[in-house]
């Protein structure tokens, strides 16, 4: 007897943005079983066209769109948009939300498929699944197999995050400021509080009362929710003049013995990770080399002599792919595989 392959009606909220466009690209690349696709955005973008494979899809106005009949919604248009439209969409479809709005809601699972796929079933409470922050995703993909092996006690991470994490306007600002410097023009900060070209900004998101930024808090809280609430996390997040890919230098202390050599062997076998280490003098990954790649890359694994059971490593990933769109599509694939989508 021949089985019938299920197909799904998909809606992408924020289809004209960087993450939305990447979702469309990855759905096509991975041959997701799309029966029909709705590209949604604000009234300003309605009527424009976006690419989906070899087709051009006309963008529809999110404000007037009826989600009835949709099976899966990808939401990547900002927290304010999600606050208004995700609950409406969730009455009809499973919503995979990339914004920070629902991440810490106890009734909504925060999912990285390589790390906590078992939590996916919890989405039935609200029909919403949250995607972690981009910097959190790549870190927890690398941490989980190590935690399983030796139980992580403490993590200290310094991030070097590209401007695409802020969006297209930030990428334009870096480009224009860089060009302006060579033309002897004074760079005018707009998206960021200070010049980003040829500079580093030790602030991502707003400052909180304790001096931590919201981005740093996200990494702490999300790591605990996705991996293990007992792990102590300290984060320092820095914006750097790189267009795409986030980099992190991560220090890990374990409850049990685990050497850098042990970690290297474990990570080489881990799903979603590529280890680039010890092959030659320049055997490490850079943000430029990770751009366009699906995996999380790990380099510079070494023992930390300052603690009894500790290692350091360098971790890089394309923040638009694994840090956002790919993770969301992988969640949808898992939903389909586990037969958790009720086709309208």
286 token code pair: 């850079």
Q: Are residues 92 and 217 in the same domain?
A: no
- The Cα 97–Cα 17 span in angstroms is 14
Q: Are residues 192 and 304 in the same domain?
A: yes
232 token code pair: 């102590």
Q: Are residues 74 and 203 in the same domain?
A: no
Q: Are residues 218 and 331 in the same domain?
A: no
Our CA dihedral for 252, 253, 258, 262, rounded to 10 degrees, sits at 0
Q: Are residues 96 and 150 in the same domain?
A: no
Q: Considering the candidates 92, 134, 147, 315, report the single residue annotated as catalytic.
A: 134
Neighbours of 306 (CB within 10 A): 9
pTM score? 0.94
Instruction: Using DSSP, state whether 44 is helix, strand or coil.
Output: coil
For 8, list phi and psi in degrees, rounded to 5.
-135, 145
For residue 81, give its domain range.
Answer: 8-132+324-337
Strands (E), 44-127: 49-52, 55-58, 60-61, 72-75, 94-97
97 token code pair: 């939300």
Q: Are residues 109 and 144 in the same domain?
A: no
pLDDT reported for residue 283: 87
Q: Decide if 1 is inside a domain.
A: no
CATH of the domain at 289: 3.30.360.10
- Helix, strand, coil shares of the chain, percent, nearest 5, are 35, 25, 40
pLDDT reported for residue 2: 47
Q: Are residues 66 and 191 in the same domain?
A: no
Does the CA dihedral 239-240-241-243 come out positive or negative? Answer: negative
Closest C-alpha to 48, from 80, 14, 25, 71: 14
Q: Are residues 233 and 128 in the same domain?
A: no
Rounded to 5°, angle at Cα 138 from 337 and 110: 55
277: Cβ–Cβ under 8 A, 6 or more apart, which residues? Answer: 264, 283, 284, 298, 299, 300, 301
36 token code pair: 């029909």
Q: Are residues 160 and 279 in the same domain?
A: yes
Q: Decide if 344 is inside a domain.
A: no
pLDDT reported for residue 186: 87
| pLDDT tens, residue order, the chain (344 aa) | 445 578 999 999 999 999 999 999 999 999 999 999 999 999 999 999 999 999 999 999 999 999 999 999 999 998 999 999 999 999 999 999 999 999 999 999 999 999 999 999 999 999 999 999 999 999 999 999 999 999 999 999 999 999 999 999 999 999 999 999 999 998 889 999 999 999 999 999 999 999 999 999 999 999 999 999 999 999 999 999 999 999 999 999 999 999 999 999 999 999 999 999 876 667 899 999 999 999 999 999 999 999 999 999 999 999 999 999 999 999 999 999 999 998 86
Q: Decide if 343 is inside a domain.
A: no
Q: Are 112 and 75 in contact (CB under 8 A)?
A: no
pLDDT reported for residue 3: 52
170 token code pair: 């930030």
147 belongs to the catalytic site: no
Q: Are residues 41 and 161 in the same domain?
A: no
- The Cα 315–Cα 284 span in angstroms is 10
- The Cα 325–Cα 284 span in angstroms is 25
> What is the per-residue pLDDT across 189-223, written as a single tens digit (0 to 9) for each?
999 999 999 999 999 999 999 999 999 999 999 99
Instruction: Using DSSP, state whether 266 is helix, strand or coil.
Output: helix
pLDDT reported for residue 4: 59
Q: Are residues 62 and 19 in the same domain?
A: yes
Q: Decide if 290 is inside a domain.
A: yes
CATH of the domain at 120: 3.40.50.720
Please give the radius of gyration of the chain, using alpha carbons only, rounded to the nearest integer: 20
Q: Are residues 219 and 84 in the same domain?
A: no
Closest C-alpha to 234, from 251, 247, 246: 251
End-to-end alpha carbon distance in the chain = 24
Does the CA dihedral 260-265-270-275 come out positive or negative? Answer: positive
pLDDT reported for residue 343: 80
Give the DSSP per-residue string, 271-339.
Answer: TTEEE--SSSTT-S--HHHHTT--SEEEEEEEE-TTSTTEEEEEEEE-TTIIIIIHHHHHHHHHHHHTT
Q: Considering the candidates 147, 237, 246, 315, report the single residue annotated as catalytic.
A: 246
Give the DSSP per-residue string, 116-184.
Answer: -GGGGGGGGGTTEEE---HHHHHHHHHHHHHHHHH-EEEEEEEEEE-GGGT-HHHHHHHHHHHHHHHTT
Counted domains in the chain: 2
Q: Decide if 53 is inside a domain.
A: yes
134 belongs to the catalytic site: yes
- The Cα 65–Cα 193 span in angstroms is 36
Host H or E run for residue 26: helix 18-29
């Amino acid at each position: 007897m021949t089985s019938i392959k299920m197909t799904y009606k998909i809606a992408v909220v924020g289809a004209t943005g960087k993450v939305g466009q990447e979702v469309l690209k990855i759905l096509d690349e991975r041959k997701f079983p799309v029966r029909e696709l709705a590209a949604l955005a604000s009234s300003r973008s309605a009527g424009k066209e976006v690419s989906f494979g070899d087709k051009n899809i006309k963008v529809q106005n999110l404000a007037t769109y009826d989600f009835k009949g949709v099976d899966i919604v990808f939401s990547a248009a900002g927290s304010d948009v999600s606050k208004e439209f995700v609950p409406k969409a969730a009455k009809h479809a499973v919503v995979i939300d990339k914004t920070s709005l629902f991440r810490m809601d106890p009734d909504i699972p925060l999912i990285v498929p390589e790390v906590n796929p078992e939590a996916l079933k919890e989405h039935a409470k609200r029909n919403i699944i949250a995607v972690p922050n981009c910097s959190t995703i790549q870190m927890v993909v690398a941490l989980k197999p190590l935690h399983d092996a030796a139980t992580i006690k403490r993590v200290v991470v310094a991030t070097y995050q590209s401007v695409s994490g802020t969006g297209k306007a930030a990428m334009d600002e870096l480009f224009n400021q860089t060009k302006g410097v060579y033309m002897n023009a004074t760079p005018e900060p707009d998206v960021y509080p200070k010049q980003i070209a040829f500079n580093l900004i030790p602030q991502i998101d707003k400052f909180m009362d304790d001096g931590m930024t919201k981005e740093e808090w996200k990494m702490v809280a999300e790591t605990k929710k996705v991996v293990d609430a007992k792990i102590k996390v300290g984060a320092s997040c820095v914006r750097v003049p790189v267009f795409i890919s986030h980099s992190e230098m991560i220090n890990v202390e374990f409850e049990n013995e685990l050497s850098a050599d042990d970690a290297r062997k474990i990570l080489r076998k881990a799903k979603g990770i590529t280890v680039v280490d010890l092959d030659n003098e320049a055997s490490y990954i850079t943000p430029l080399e990770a751009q366009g790649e699906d995996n999380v890359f790990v380099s510079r694994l070494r023992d930390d002599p300052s603690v009894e059971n500790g290692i350091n490593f360098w971790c890089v990933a394309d923040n638009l792919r694994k840090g956002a769109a790919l993770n969301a599509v992988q969640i949808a694939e898992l939903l389909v595989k586990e037969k958790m989508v009720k086709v309208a």
